[in-house]
């Protein structure tokens, strides 16, 4: 695969410089492949123009599923399948079913959301990530620019833009895949 394998990297030291740099680089017409950071930088997703994550919706839907499953299970078992009078209560003692329903809601919401997160971000034990720079997980922010995606612009020009935006280093990185 030719695409996505040759990159220009801008290395940044400071999160606030990085935020301004992303704005500058984008406004000069360069398409940013992705920015890599050692920790979550607040506001980075806004300047990169990412849409809000829909993971909360996934959590909500899984939560509703948990509530429904828990209530269905309890009503079926206690009222229909094997009705017994316990403590003089109704077979379908609804208030008694609340704690288990709550726990099942939380359980499914949490696991469902995390599962969707793992799948959408391709997180799995055997995943082989592209490591642009080992310092990404230490103390440097790296802006990766895909050359194939910016064919209209000269490579030297891109490097210039990165330098003037505050990058302390500008490197090339290729992956053979």
5: contact with another protein by CB under 8 A: no
- Binding of another protein by 61 (CB under 8 A): no
E-state strands within the chain: 6-12, 34-36, 141-146, 169-174
163's CB contacts (< 8 A; 6+ apart) are 10, 170
- CA-to-CA distance for 47 and 27, rounded, in angstroms? 11
**Is the alpha carbon torsion for 43, 166, 163, 171 positive or negative?**
negative
Shortest Å distance, C-beta 1 to another protein: 18
Q: Is 131 left (phi over 0), alpha (psi -120 to 50) or beta?
A: beta
69 is a site residue for another protein (CB under 8 A): no
Q: Considering beta carbons, is residue 65 or 110 the nearer one to another protein?
A: 110
- Out of 7, 8, 10, 74, the only residue in the binding site for another protein (CB under 8 A) is 74
**Binding region for another protein (CB under 8 A):** 14-16, 19, 34-41, 43-45, 48, 50, 53, 55-56, 59, 73-74, 77-78, 81-82, 86-87, 89, 93, 96-97, 99-100, 102-104, 106-107, 109-111, 113-114, 117-118, 120-132, 134-139
């Amino acid at each position: 695969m030719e695409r996505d394998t040759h990159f220009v990297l801008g290395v940044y030291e400071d999160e606030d410089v990085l935020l301004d740099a992303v704005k500058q680089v984008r406004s000069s017409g360069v398409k940013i492949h992705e920015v890599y950071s050692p920790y979550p930088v607040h506001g980075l997703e806004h300047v990169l123009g990412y849409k809000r994550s829909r993971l909360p919706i996934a959590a909500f839907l899984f939560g509703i599923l948990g509530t429904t499953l828990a209530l269905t299970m309890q009503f079926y078992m206690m009222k229909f399948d094997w009705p017994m009078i316990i403590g003089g209560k109704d077979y379908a003692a609804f208030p008694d079913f609340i704690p288990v329903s709550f726990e099942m809601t939380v359980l499914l919401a949490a696991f469902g959301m995390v599962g969707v997160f793992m799948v959408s971000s391709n997180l799995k034990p055997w995943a082989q990530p592209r490591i642009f720079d080992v310092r990404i997980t230490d103390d440097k922010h790296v802006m990766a620019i895909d050359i194939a995606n910016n064919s209209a612009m000269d490579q030297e020009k891109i490097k210039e833009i990165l330098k003037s935006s505050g990058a302390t280093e500008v490197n090339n990185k290729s992956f053979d895949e």
